[in-house]
Structure 1
Amino acid sequence: MDPLARYDSLVDDPEAFHEACERPLPSVVRVNDIKATPDRVRRAFEEVGVGYEPISWHDGLFRLADDISPGNTWSYVHGWVYGQEEVSAIPALALDPEPGERVLDCCAAPGSKTTQLAALMDDRGLLVGNDNNLGRLSALRSNAERCGVTNIAVTRQDARNFSIKPFSREPFDRVLADVPCSCEGTVRKNPDAVEDWSLGHVESIAGVQKAILNRSLEVTREGGTVVYSTCTFAPEENEAVVQHALDSHDCRLVEYDLELEHAPGITEWEGDTYDESLQRAKRIYPHHNDTGGFFCAKLEVGA
């Protein structure tokens, strides 16, 4: 049985959902505002014959022609663009950091969302890029350097017990918790995500996710923002994890704008019920926008 069939009751068109999951994922790049503008990238692509299409909901994203690899473009080498899946751009936009703030990306490597956060912050303030994988941290540092990010501090800690001691013990204004997950939503570029799927893995990784989100809320100031995101469809890793945070912490779910077509978070799954406010979370399915799958929820600390 296809593991994705367990979500047929959640989508509006199961047949279209499965067909989309079987198609290759389009290549997308994000303009790095620290070094370039969308117009400059357009001109650079056109000068060397790189085929592209603008993405309607965000003027800093371009979908590349099928024969183009993002990493082989001149603009990528010079840090003008970052190869980033379209839906992967959502969490940083939802977090909406301001220049000069203190921001933590607690599972940062290899750096697509971290470099996007830096650009949204105008490369000002403090941006902590944390990961517990040394090899992936090397990629984070390399990508940050290529993109011209200077406001970043790279740390290696377990996000489940991240220490703010090195940062004057001061809480953060905003935290991004884009957590490790079962990665079902990446099936269009990574078929192994469903071939190796097991409910046991989903349930075990959910425990890690709950701990990371808990710590993210603990290190965020009152009135601050935490964004929780995954690239999976599993409610056990999405709504159930956020529900655990609502039950354990003084926080609430808040709305955020997203022009990309999406479905609301769910409030019931296999006998479990979740707070009605979870409808403020966003579910993105592959057949709606020809993208990968994603889940993103925005929380405010101190309800």
Structure 2
Amino acid sequence: MEPLSRYDPLVDDPAAFHEACERPLPSVVRVNRIKATAESVRQAFDEAGVDYEPVDWHDGLFRLGEGESPGNSWPFVHGWVYGQEEVSAVPALALAPQPGERVLDCCAAPGSKTTQLAALMDDRGLLVGNDNNLGRLSALRSNAERCGVTNIAVTRQDARNLSLKPFGGERFDRTLVDVPCSCEGTVRKNPDAVDGWSLDHIEGIAGVQKAILERAIEVTRDGGTVVYSTCTFAPEENEAVLQHALDGGDCRLVDFDLPLESVPGVTDWEDERFDDAVRKAQRIYPHHNDTGGFFCAKLEVAR
């Protein structure tokens, strides 16, 4: 896949990277702990004859056998599980919201990460699921209802100028910024993800990402946590966006642990040099964990 060759200098094994990108992605479901436990889902899958195996790095994720579809089982219909790409579970784990907190998901629809956040919060506190796409918001509402989420407020705002007025003007404790991106890391699920690829598109969407992250930092309290994530490999959408946030002076990057293999963010890309702090971000490549590609960074608001 030609556009992905630009990242060969960043990966340890370009041949393995490209080979992995061309393999189909296994279907994965996440246990919705608002309604079920890993053990009850195992039992339900066994009774329904669903072929599955646990994901070794997370006890609430199951990979489904070839030909299995997440939506074809009664545990899915009843909201016990959510079909979610394996690495898509990473940002919510990094954000680590606590029950009773005020949490914002800037770009929430269709709701995989939002429903995961709600479960981590024990469905307590305030969870704002925001998106500016009306069609996708209906999916968010439907998924939240199926999963039994009751602590959510669904809003339709442009995340670049999100208003705190509907929430009493009070800032959030934690904010997830899983931004729209060029989606290069989803190529195993959507082989056409790199069709029509252009640097102009990457640079254009990076401007949107910078504005969303900037506003997310503004609406998060001092000492609060912001997690920035994408499903793309492009440093223009990853480290360069973090650099923009660091240049704003109201945040710092912090270390965080992931239970799967990853590599640090890059500090040099083409003719750009980024702050050494971006090495605290984590890149996940398809050939390391047999997953999609992902980027995740954790920031602390420090005004």
Q: TM-score range by the shorter chain?
A: over 0.9
Equivalent residue number for residue 87 of structure 2: 87
Aligned-partner Cα distance in 2 for 1:189–1:117: 23
Alignment of 1:224-243 (within 5 A): 224-243=224-243
SS in structure 2 of the partner of residue 205 of structure 1: helix
Contact 2:32/2:119, CA 8 A, preserved across alignment: yes
Structure 2 unmatched runs, 5+: none
Q: Which amino acid aligns with 1:245?
A: A
1:167 shift after superposition: 0.2
Aligned-partner Cα distance in 1 for 2:75–2:243: 42
Alignment of 1:118-197 (within 5 A): 118-197=118-197
SS in structure 1 of the partner of residue 141 of structure 2: helix
Structure 1 unmatched runs, 5+: none
Contact 1:22/1:188, CA 8 A, preserved across alignment: yes
1:48 shift after superposition: 1.2
Which range moves more in the overlay, 139-148 or 272-281?
A: 272-281
Which range moves more in the overlay, 244-253 or 200-209?
A: 244-253
SS in structure 2 of the partner of residue 240 of structure 1: helix
Aligned-partner Cα distance in 2 for 1:13–1:172: 41
1:291 shift after superposition: 0.4
Equivalent residue number for residue 117 of structure 1: 117
Matched, 1:17 2:14: no
Q: Which amino acid aligns with 2:168?
A: S
Q: Which amino acid aligns with 2:287?
A: H
Aligned-partner Cα distance in 2 for 1:159–1:192: 27
Equivalent residue number for residue 280 of structure 1: 280
Post-superposition Cα deviations, 1:94-116, rounded to whole Å, max 9, x if no partner, equal 00000000000000000000000
Equivalent residue number for residue 6 of structure 1: 6
Post-superposition Cα deviations, 1:44-64, rounded to whole Å, max 9, x if no partner, equal 001111010101110000000
Matched, 1:255 2:255: yes
Aligned-partner Cα distance in 2 for 1:196–1:261: 30
1:249 shift after superposition: 3.1
Aligned-partner Cα distance in 1 for 2:279–2:4: 21
Q: Which amino acid aligns with 2:35?
A: K
1:189 shift after superposition: 1.1
Post-superposition Cα deviations, 1:206-227, rounded to whole Å, max 9, x if no partner, equal 0000000000000000000000
Aligned-partner Cα distance in 1 for 2:24–2:57: 21
1:277 shift after superposition: 1.1
Aligned-partner Cα distance in 2 for 1:253–1:219: 17
Alignment of 1:28-67 (within 5 A): 28-67=28-67
Contact 1:217/1:249, CA 8 A, preserved across alignment: no
Matched, 1:291 2:291: yes
Post-superposition Cα deviations, 1:112-143, rounded to whole Å, max 9, x if no partner, equal 00000000000000000000000000000000
Equivalent residue number for residue 246 of structure 1: 246
Root-mean-square deviation (CA), in Å?
Answer: 0.7
Equivalent residue number for residue 107 of structure 2: 107
Q: Which amino acid aligns with 1:91?
A: P
Contact 2:48/2:73, CA 8 A, preserved across alignment: no
Q: Which amino acid aligns with 2:217?
A: L
Q: Which amino acid aligns with 2:156?
A: R
1:192 shift after superposition: 1.8
Contact 2:185/2:232, CA 8 A, preserved across alignment: yes
User: Under a length normalisation based on structure 1, what TM-score does the superposition of the two structures give?
Assistant: 0.99
Post-superposition Cα deviations, 1:136-172, rounded to whole Å, max 9, x if no partner, equal 0000000000000000000000000000001000000
